[in-house]
Structure 1
């Protein structure tokens, strides 16, 4: 079972993290900070973290806080069992994964895929389909396997509480978020961002405006209304890469989880795989 969140959400700092496995000043990790008051989530500020060391420093900040992080916390159980990796608990798996370099990870994952039929090359976690997420073993487009490699061991080392995965400091809680889940609910398949300058077009600009409007009006099933200043709204709309908006989407998912029993996670969550918050699951399922 999962421990329940603090029952004074107005006092709980919420953080949404748009992660990069190789952050730079040009493409930093982005953190959005806010607080929930009833059904309103106020965005307080946005921070750029241009190095993994600065991400580690963020994780070390004293609580109470709850963070939604845009990177996988686990791997498909089918993959882990096929590779015969440690799976007695989440920490042993992550320590093993952290001990491998990227070339080894890529080689082992590629060999796993090569042995499987076309159309079913990748193994999936139980939350991938309901969240619409890429498999966490994918090493290109997007390289979420490397994001897991850079992010999860730092959560472990920081001693955070990861509900369903790791008991840690109850004042510093991290959950796996996925901004695409919330964006897709409100925009369908419309693209709202691109790292490629040639694709940073008017259609994506309009999509960002529509997405921000929907968040401010509270039109998602999360039931939260985002409160922004005029300057914050402009910043979210003007960021063609979508990093600021993705951090805010993760912030809203964290705000939703803060008021859910057991953070809204499946009661039988698989500690090898983890779960993406606000992805729907069937009652009684393994998660």
Structure 2
């Protein structure tokens, strides 16, 4: 495990200089995960280039890796994972939005969206949701690039086992630490002192190892300041995803429970 890099990736489907994809890099030494650095990728091409680099790593990626089986079957889409993802990647966003909206319109209030089995335990938004947050676009923009890079998607698609990609969800770990308190906003005016305190509380808890993952985060003073100061929360989210990946490397099947639907996938540590 000494040579294994652990990454956490806070993904956005429309990266730019002001809102890049954030990458947290670290290494695990027993129960300690040391943050080695934070990087910013300001385009999807930069993300693809980063994925293609050789190396021994496991990454937790904050984007959905699959669609709900109920949705796939209702739409008559392929039920083989690789074929389904190729089909989804080939569709334009307007067509996806129209198909998903029609699916929702035909369903009763309170049950508009289809969910994956992992959404409930993780407290995650359904992967077919195209607004607030637009995770359907994250799947559409990110997953095909993971597949094109040939990385290994355990339980879903075989690839280069020296580069392992897992679906992470930072919100799951953040809620364990601070409950439903908000700790981030992309709107500068909404980056309040209360949210800053919440970020500080998250970082303090991670450094003290107060999570069910049984891991303790090791930071420099400068790194701690950077995580707390980032009002968008993207840097903290990348670190949370990194810790979820660090937990998974020591688990059988990377923490996947028995009987996971190979079309839907699973969120690490849910």
Does residue 57 (structure 1) correspond to residue 49 (structure 2)? The answer is yes
Does residue 144 (structure 1) correspond to residue 135 (structure 2)? The answer is yes
- Superposition map of 1:73-88 within 5 A: 73-87=65-79
Q: 1:242 aligns with which of 233, 240, 251?
A: 233
Task: Answer with 111-120 or 268-277: which moved more.
Answer: 268-277
TM-superposed deviation, 1:198: 2.1
Name the structure 1 match of 2:9: 17
Determine the C-alpha separation between the residues in 2 that align with 1:247 and 1:271: 25
Name the structure 1 match of 2:20: 28
- Superposition map of 1:99-248 within 5 A: 99-248=90-239
Return structure 1 stretches of 4+ with deviation > 3 angstroms.
Answer: none
Q: 1:95 aligns with which of 86, 91, 100?
A: 86
Determine the C-alpha separation between the residues in 2 that align with 1:63 and 1:90: 26
Determine the C-alpha separation between the residues in 2 that align with 1:13 and 1:202: 34
Aligned pair count reads: 270
Determine the C-alpha separation between the residues in 1 that align with 2:188 and 2:98: 32
RMSD: 0.6
TM-superposed deviation, 1:267: 2.6
* SS state at 1:259 partner: coil
Q: 1:260 aligns with which of 211, 232, 251?
A: 251
Post-superposition CA distance 1:229-273 (Å, at most 9, x none): 000000000000000000000000000001111101123221211
Post-superposition CA distance 1:146-202 (Å, at most 9, x none): 000001111111111100000110101000000000000001000000011221101
Name the structure 2 match of 1:269: 260
Determine the C-alpha separation between the residues in 2 that align with 1:69 and 1:191: 21
Determine the C-alpha separation between the residues in 2 that align with 1:210 and 1:76: 34
Determine the C-alpha separation between the residues in 2 that align with 1:271 and 1:262: 13
* SS state at 2:27 partner: strand
Determine the C-alpha separation between the residues in 2 that align with 1:214 and 1:133: 22
Determine the C-alpha separation between the residues in 1 that align with 2:149 and 2:241: 20
Name the structure 2 match of 1:6: none
Determine the C-alpha separation between the residues in 1 that align with 2:256 and 2:50: 24
Task: Answer with 110-119 or 268-277: which moved more.
Answer: 268-277
Determine the C-alpha separation between the residues in 2 that align with 1:234 and 1:188: 22
Determine the C-alpha separation between the residues in 2 that align with 1:221 and 1:90: 31
* SS state at 2:2 partner: helix
Name the structure 1 match of 2:35: 43
* SS state at 2:109 partner: coil
Structure 2: segments with no counterpart, 5+ residues: none
Structure 1: segments with no counterpart, 5+ residues: 1-8, 280-287
